[in-house]
């Protein structure tokens, strides 16, 4: 199918729906705020689309936020709809069953817009979360998510830096060097560590995730969630969902450009000359223009603020 033919379908999907799972305090809300470039709290809607007044929820606020059926939407990017699940602590069979049933029911939805398009499974790396807990093992061995890609987010990855830093100091490395080297050493040690082996092991782990990423310092103002955006885009094998995701996210224009070039220009065998003409606004093949545009942010004000003048006019 020609990429531009997916335009009406993209409009039909409208919003990209993500289920985020992770135990209490795992850093879920922080990540969603980063992705939507805000510090504000999300608005909550019930399944029928009715806005829930969080102040009225007061006593049951926690339940409102973590009721998996409720939709969380940030004003700064209404193109994303999130479902938040605190997951299930060890032994929490009914919570696990609830998550499993939710995933199964959304998988069966006839309308694509009601389906879950991706799952972000958070595993925090701070004190009590360094090893896989029973809940994670249970999820990856028993929860069949069908074609919905699961991406594991090792959140609070910076929590591993202190031990590595101490190790480097004990080897006689200076404090400043140890501080600079700790993040890279932590990534290397983690890449060869037992958690990843267990995560992708097929031995008893029937439904391993599609990929994983390590996310440090997401609570900082300059937090970069690009790896999460790239990894999620890569795991989507449905072309239209990929377009929807890439054009909904607003944190990284490079991802839009790369996909536009790789998926559209390369597929269409468009020459470098054409790309240049496009950039300088002299390109008039509307078929290719439409095909390119599906990868870029859909909202005019975002286009104006992040896309250089002339690129998409």
Ligand X SMILES: Nc1nc2c(ncn2[C@@H]2O[C@H](COP(=O)(O)OP(=O)(O)OP(=O)(O)O)[C@@H](O)[C@H]2O)c(=O)[nH]1
The footprint of Mg ion (CB under 5 A) covers 28-29
State the minimum distance, in angstroms, from the CB of residue 155 to ligand X.
Answer: 6
State which of positions 15-54 bind ligand X (CB under 6 A): 22, 24-30
> Which residue of 167, 217, 268, 285 would you call a contact of ligand X, by CB under 6 A?
217
Rg from Cα positions in the chain: 21
The residue written with tokens 């990540």 in the block is 31
**Residue closer to ligand X (CB basis): 218 or 265:** 218
Shortest Cβ 304–ligand X spacing (Å)? 31
Closest CA to 15 of 152, 111, 151: 111
DSSP category for residue 62: H
Nearer to ligand X, 34 or 210 (CB): 34
Contact status: 216 vs ligand X (CB under 6 A): yes
User: Considering beta carbons, is residue 215 or 256 the nearer one to ligand X?
Assistant: 215
Q: Which does 216 bind (CB under 5 to 8 A by kind): ligand X, Mg ion, none?
A: ligand X
Contact 233, 244 (CB under 8 A): no
Smallest distance, Mg ion to C-beta of residue 42, A: 9
Residue 66 beta carbon to ligand X: minimum distance, rounded to whole angstroms? 7
The closest of 31, 29, 30 to 84, measured between CA atoms, is: 29
Answer yes or no whether residue 95 interacts with ligand X by CB under 6 A: no
Q: Which is nearer to ligand X, 13 or 139 (CB)?
A: 139
For residues 153 and 288, which CB has a smaller minimum distance to ligand X in the complex?
153
Strand partners, 71: 45
Site for ligand X, residues 154 to 173, rule: CB under 6 A = 155-156, 158-159
Rank residues 7 and 29 by Cβ distance to ligand X and give the closer one: 29
* Alpha helices by DSSP H, the chain: 7-13, 28-35, 54-57, 61-66, 93-108, 134-142, 161-170, 175-191, 194-200, 226-235, 239-248, 253-259, 272-279, 286-293, 300-306
- CB atoms < 10 A from the CB of 273, how many? 9
Residues 90 and 248: their CA atoms lie apart, in Å, by 35
Binding residues (CB under 6 A) for ligand X: these are: 22, 24-30, 86, 155-156, 158-159, 215-219
């Amino acid at each position: 199918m020609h990429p531009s033919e997916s335009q009406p379908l993209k409009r039909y999907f409208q919003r990209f729906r993500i289920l985020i799972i992770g135990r209490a305090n795992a850093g879920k809300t922080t990540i969603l705020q980063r992705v939507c470039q805000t510090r504000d709290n999300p608005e909550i809607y019930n399944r029928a689309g009715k806005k829930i007044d969080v102040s009225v929820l007061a006593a049951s606020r926690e339940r409102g936020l973590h009721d998996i059926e409720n939709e969380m939407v940030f004003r700064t990017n209404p193109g994303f709809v999130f479902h938040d699940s605190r997951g299930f602590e060890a032994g929490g069979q009914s919570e696990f069953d609830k998550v499993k049933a939710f995933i199964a029911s959304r998988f069966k939805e006839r309308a694509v817009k009601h389906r879950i398009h991706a799952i972000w499974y958070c595993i925090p790396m701070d004190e009590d979360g360094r090893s896989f807990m029973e809940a994670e093992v249970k999820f990856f061995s028993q929860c069949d998510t069908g074609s919905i890609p699961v991406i594991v987010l090792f959140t609070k990855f910076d929590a591993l830096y202190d031990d590595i830093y101490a190790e480097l100091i004990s080897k006689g490395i200076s404090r400043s060097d140890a501080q600079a080297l700790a993040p890279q050493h932590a990534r290397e040690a983690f890449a060869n560590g037992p958690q990843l082996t267990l995560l992708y092991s097929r031995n008893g782990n029937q439904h391993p995730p599609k990929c994983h990423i390590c996310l440090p310092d997401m609570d900082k103002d300059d937090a970069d969630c690009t790896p999460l955006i790239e990894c999620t885009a890569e795991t989507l094998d449905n072309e239209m969902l990929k377009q929807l995701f890439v054009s909904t996210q607003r944190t990284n224009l490079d991802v839009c450009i790369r996909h536009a070039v790789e998926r559209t220009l390369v597929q269409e065998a468009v020459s470098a000359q054409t790309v240049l003409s496009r950039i300088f606004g002299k390109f008039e093949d509307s078929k290719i223009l439409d095909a390119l545009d599906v990868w870029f942010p859909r909202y005019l004000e975002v286009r104006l603020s992040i896309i250089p003048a002339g690129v998409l006019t």
